Amino acid sequence: MKDGSSDRGLIFIRFLPEHFSTLAGWFTSEEDVVQWGAAIRAYARVGFRHEGIRRSASKVGAARWYLALTGILRDEWAPG
């Protein structure tokens, strides 16, 4: 996006594993995102892996959207 909002989203996503690493017992972080678009690419850029698809999981107006399941394990996350 030209307004920089996608960059702000990526900055937020980069801090998720760091935030979770401060929690006792943190082992994995899982996120559900729409299967297409900038969000799925942003999660992949910071180390989240594709773990599956939830078909027709989200109703948006009259449409049903598929959601991609993504996750990252504590051992997979590399700070910075």
pTM passes above 0.75: no
Check residues 46 and 77 and name the one with the higher pLDDT: 46
Q: What six digits make up the tokens of 27?
A: 């082992």
- The position carrying tokens 């999981």 is 57
Q: What six digits make up the tokens of 56?
A: 């027709």
Give the number of domains in the chain: 1
- For every residue of 31-49, which 3-state class applies, written as one string? EEEECCCHHHHHHHHCCCE
Count the Cβ atoms, other than its own, within 10 Å of residue 78.
8
List the domain range (segments joined by +) for residue 63: 5-76
The per-residue pLDDT for range 16-48, each reduced to its tens digit, is 666 666 766 777 778 888 887 788 888 888 888
The CATH number that applies at residue 33 is 3.40.630.30
Q: What is the pLDDT of residue 66?
A: 92
Q: What is the dihedral of CA 16, 40, 61, 4, to 10 degrees?
A: 70
Q: What is the pLDDT of residue 1?
A: 44
pLDDT category of residue 7 using cuts at 50, 70 and 90: low
